């Protein structure tokens, strides 16, 4: 595991901080990101996944770092090489925080010197974690420990990891939004969820997650009741990324 942190005394205004995990399940061929912040609509800004990588872009977000990082990974470029190149071409890289993992298990995490305290990141087997403007450094440590110690499908592990980050203190300004995004060969209704504005975004994300699992399980019986005989393929909805 590698870890970098920084502390300081910058509390001079509202900035878009966050805490997130990017991870893979190599056996299932899945990649995912879970994220929460005290800014509206984090799911529209930070998480990016494909069949080859997971990337999170945060702090003073540059959305193209996420989308371009994923595109480069899909073209066979390693996530470390891709994200380093994108940051090298970014004159405001010192304000960014970017991290991710690719299909080769290669990880990358970067926290610019102008991110707002508390900020830091770590890299470990099959995942990276980062956060800025957090209550304390325990947040990312607890998230990594939870991911390592949790078994089961990737989506459930990510959801539990996000809850652990919130329980450890989370974003020191409070809570507004959260998101879960998973790319899987077998996409589920609970693999792309967003809570855009809430007093308890991680709690509401868990509620949506459980409802998604319940709905997924009930789909065949519901289709039987509505349609009688039907081609099973119509229940393979796919997923929007």
Residue ranges of domains in the chain:
2-235
Q: Is the pTM of this model over 0.85?
A: yes
Q: At what angle do helices 79-88 and 63-74 cross, to 10 degrees?
A: 140
Q: Assign 5 to helix, strand or coil.
A: strand
- What digits encode the pLDDT tens for the residues 70-107? 999 999 999 999 999 999 999 999 999 999 999 999 99
Q: What is the pLDDT of residues 163-219, one digit of tens each?
A: 999 999 876 666 899 999 999 999 999 999 999 999 999 999 999 999 999 999 999
For every residue of 141-173, which 3-state class applies, written as one string? HHHHHHHHHCCCCHHHHHHHHHHHHHHCCCECC
* pLDDT exceeds cutoff 50 at 15: no
Residue 90 in contact with residue 64, Cβ under 8 Å? no
**Mean pLDDT over the full length of the chain:** 92
CATH class of the domain at 2-235: alpha beta
Q: Alpha carbon 41 to chain centroid distance?
A: 13
- Classify residue 116 by its DSSP letter: P
Block residue for tokens 């991710």: 100
pLDDT at 76: 98
Q: Look up tokens 């990141």; give the residue.
A: 121
Asked whether residue 136 carries a pLDDT value surpassing 90, the answer given is: no
Q: What is the rounded average pLDDT of the residues 40-46?
A: 96
CA distance 36 to 47: 10
């Amino acid at each position: 595991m590698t870890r970098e942190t920084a502390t300081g005394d910058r509390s001079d205004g509202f900035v878009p901080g966050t805490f997130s995990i990017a991870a893979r399940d190599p056996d299932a061929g899945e990649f995912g990101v879970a994220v929460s912040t005290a800014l509206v609509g984090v799911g529209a800004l930070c998480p990016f996944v494909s069949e080859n990588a997971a990337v999170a872009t945060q702090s003073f977000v540059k959305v193209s770092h996420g989308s371009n990082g994923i595109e480069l990974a899909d073209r066979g470029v390693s996530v470390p090489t891709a994200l380093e190149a994108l940051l090298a071409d970014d004159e405001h890289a010192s304000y960014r925080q970017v991290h991710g993992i690719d299909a080769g298990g290669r990880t990358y995490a970067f926290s610019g010197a102008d991110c707002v305290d508390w900020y830091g990141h770590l890299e470990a087997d099959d995942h990276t974690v980062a956060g800025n403007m957090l209550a304390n450094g325990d947040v990312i440590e607890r998230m990594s420990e939870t991911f390592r110690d949790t078994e089961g499908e990737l989506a459930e592990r990510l959801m539990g990891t996000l809850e652990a980050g919130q329980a450890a203190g989370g974003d020191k300004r409070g809570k507004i939004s959260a998101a879960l995004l998973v790319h899987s060969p077998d996409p589920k209704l609970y693999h792309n969820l967003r809570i855009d504005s809430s007093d308890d975004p991680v709690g509401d994300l868990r509620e949506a997650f459980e409802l998604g699992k319940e709905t997924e399980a009930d789909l065949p019986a519901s289709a039987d009741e509505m349609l009688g005989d039907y081609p099973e393929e119509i229940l393979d909805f796919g997923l929007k990324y």
